Chains A and B, each alone.
Chain A
Amino acid sequence: DIQMTQSPSSLSASVGDRVTITCRASQGIRNDLGWYQQKPGEAPKRLIYAASTLQSGVPSRFSGSGSGTEFTLTISSLQPEDFATYYCLQHNSYPRTFGQGTKVEIK
């Protein structure tokens, strides 16, 4: 099974900050990775697919990069509505595996 190691598990940031979240795959997954945002009581929402393609309707302050084993989600200027938990997901092989999540909190 492919393990997805996501870091950090939580972070505190202020509105306007640049935020970076990383996922590392235990083996190469090409660019078969998505990033998801989840707010309390809501379903996850896809932000990025194919590692770096922005989902339609998602603000351009979100970006993804990486290939192989190292992937990054960046929020260029954190907004109040961005405080949430973020997950990566590899869809290269079964079982599909998620990162442990990163909770982004208000400083």
Chain B
Amino acid sequence: EVQLVESGGGLEQPGGSLRLSCTASGFIFSNYEMNWVRQAPGKGLEWVSYISSSGSAIYYADSVKGRFTISRDNAKNSLYLQMNSLRAEDTAVYYCARSGRFGLWGQGTLVTVSS
């Protein structure tokens, strides 16, 4: 089955760090660009970050630039999001999404930043 599964979310204090993972199956992960998208409770969708298939090109939303780092391990069919200096406004469900056209999404993982 073609799918993406996120993990690593949880409760973290402001200023803390979390690392999200997205594991792909059912397709050739190394062929695809990947993205992270988040959705704060009751709010709309916000694009967070992009990484090319090889990892050579990376982009970030201004809201996370300098704090979040996207990476991938094609040998492990995995995408990552290292989130540092977390803020309350980072509280959201985080989705990974496949390709530049966002054709496949994971089920999401909830990150809560609160003291």
Contact = CB atoms under 8 A, between A and B. Distances in A.
Interface of A: 34, 36, 38, 42-46, 49-50, 55, 87, 89, 91, 94-101
B52 to A, nearest CB: 12
A87 B45 contact: yes
Contacts of A89: 45, 47, 102
Interface in B39-89: 44-47, 50, 59, 61-62
Contacts, number: 53
A43 B102 contact: no
B74 to A, nearest CB: 22
A89 B62 CA distance: 18
- Chain A, interface SS category: loop
Interface stretch (B10-18, B24-32, B103-111): B103-111
Interface residues of B, number: 20
Scoring B37, B47, B107 by chain A CB atoms within 10 A of each residue's CB, the highest score goes to B47
A49 B105 contact: no
A4 B102 CA distance: 17
